Amino acid sequence: MRLKNVGDVAAWRLCAGCGACVYGCKEKKVRLVDIEEDGIRPVIDGYCKDCKDCLDFCPGIEVSHKNLDSVPGAAPALKKGWGPVLEIWEGYSADPEIRFKSSSGGLASAIALFCIGNRGMHGVLHTGAKDFEAWKNGTVLSRTRDEVLLRTGSRYSPASPCDGLERIEKAPSPCVFIGKPCDIAALRKAEEKRPGLKRNVGLAIGIFCAGTPSTRGTLELLKKFKAAASDVSDIRYRGMGWPGKWVANLNWGYPAISIPYSEAWGFLQKFRPLRCHLCPDGTSEFADLSCGDPWHREIKEGEQGYSLVLVRTEKGRKILRAALDAGYVYLKKAGPAALKNSQDNLLNKRKAIWGRLLGMKMLFLPTPALNGFSLYENWKELDRAGKLRSVLGTIKRILRRGYLRRLKYRIPEILERKERAQ
């Protein structure tokens, strides 16, 4: 099935919501909208020439480990399940406030601040809550500790940080980029097309990700507590301790809603879109450094946060060691078992992907090209029941949810514009 542009990608539910197509379209015809039940998705404004520039930047339809076997120093035993891993560390930010307010140990924020303070980088492009719409996310360029501190903590709702890549390209000095695995993959594709961007990416930090719930997930969670989006002044999905809490501060003097992170994620994860279930990269394999939770041991009551950090490139190794030497972070070496035992759910999902793609192909649906992830080899490790479930479960889900049909987004301002044109 031929996909003409990112509008088609979104219509067939393959969009990852990264926002890179906005940066990639030379005609500036791509605009992002938050589809409540699906995620942040592109729409085409006006006449599209079908130049396919937007598709060249899209990780939703193609992600490839082109040079996986040529990464020097990568652990051979980890490649099949985790991509290139040079080193594994566990630690936390030396800044106690960042450590407390961050999702785990605050390493991503601490390393970004080191790059700004000690490496002369201009700022960090990442995600933060929108002003006046705290249940939604926006792309921000943070340049100070206070700005980074304000935006600590995971955001379990749609985010598209690659829509701001032009800000990195035009910055007076290199910048840090922090994003989800699909965002990092999109960044690398964009770097291939835009040398100016590549020169100005000082460091790419990826975060571990099990999928991005749609905005409806947050709204439904608020509804459980009889709150509406208009009541919300601020939402934190994690942070303020480890593993943290989901906290919604409300207007009008109402008491805040606060529940454990695990309870919130258990509810929100049901709202992940189809494309998240097809993603083999849960640990940001294309980043220089990737950070996540070290769930390999039981967290004690009142324990302060820790982060697991994977070194993916030589650039990442040098900057991490320099941040350690400068006192921005505390680290200790960890072994492969720490990664496997912390994130076995991500590896289990990877094992099912080949079967899920097969199920889609059997229904003649378009599928993403995912090369270099050893998908078939991982799928073979499932038992017979797991193999069948990955294929037949996908077919059943597609039929039950109506995924054989294209999505048709009903966006009022677009419909009005088309009516006027007619």
When pLDDT is cut at 50, 70 and 90, the band that residue 410 belongs to is low
* Mean pLDDT value across residues 314-341: 97
What is the count of structural domains for the chain?
Answer: 1
Determine, yes or no, domain membership for 415.
no
**Considering Cα of 102, then 158, then 213, then 259, what sign does the dihedral take?**
positive
When pLDDT is cut at 50, 70 and 90, the band that residue 420 belongs to is very low
pLDDT at 413 > cutoff 70: no
pLDDT for the residue 276? 96
pTM: 0.94
When pLDDT is cut at 50, 70 and 90, the band that residue 2 belongs to is confident
Indicate the range of 28-32, 71-75, 386-390 predicted with least confidence: 71-75
pLDDT for the residue 71? 82
pLDDT for the residue 415? 43
pLDDT at 417 > cutoff 90: no
- Rounded CA-CA distance 231/378 in Å is 46
Determine, yes or no, domain membership for 303.
yes
pLDDT tens by residue, 118-165? 999 999 999 999 988 999 999 999 999 999 999 999 999 999 999 999
Determine, yes or no, domain membership for 414.
no
**What tokens appear for 95 in the block?**
């800044």
Query: Are 56 and 18 in contact, with CB atoms under 8 Å apart?
Result: no
At 322, which helix (H) or strand (E)?
helix 314-325
pLDDT for the residue 409? 74
**What tokens appear for 376 in the block?**
């078939």
Determine, yes or no, domain membership for 13.
no
pLDDT tens by residue, 82-110? 999 999 999 999 999 999 999 999 999 99
Determine, yes or no, domain membership for 65.
no
- Rounded CA-CA distance 393/403 in Å is 13
pLDDT at 62 > cutoff 90: yes
* Mean pLDDT value across residues 213-221: 97
- Rounded CA-CA distance 179/290 in Å is 9
User: What is the rounded radius of gyration, in angstroms, for the C-alpha atoms of the chain?
Assistant: 21
pLDDT tens by residue, 177-207? 999 999 999 999 999 999 999 999 999 999 9
Determine, yes or no, domain membership for 150.
yes
**What tokens appear for 220 in the block?**
């439904």
Determine, yes or no, domain membership for 240.
yes
What's the domain range around 91? 79-344
Average pLDDT taken over every residue of the chain: 93
One-letter amino acid identity for 313? T
Determine, yes or no, domain membership for 386.
no
pLDDT for the residue 254? 77
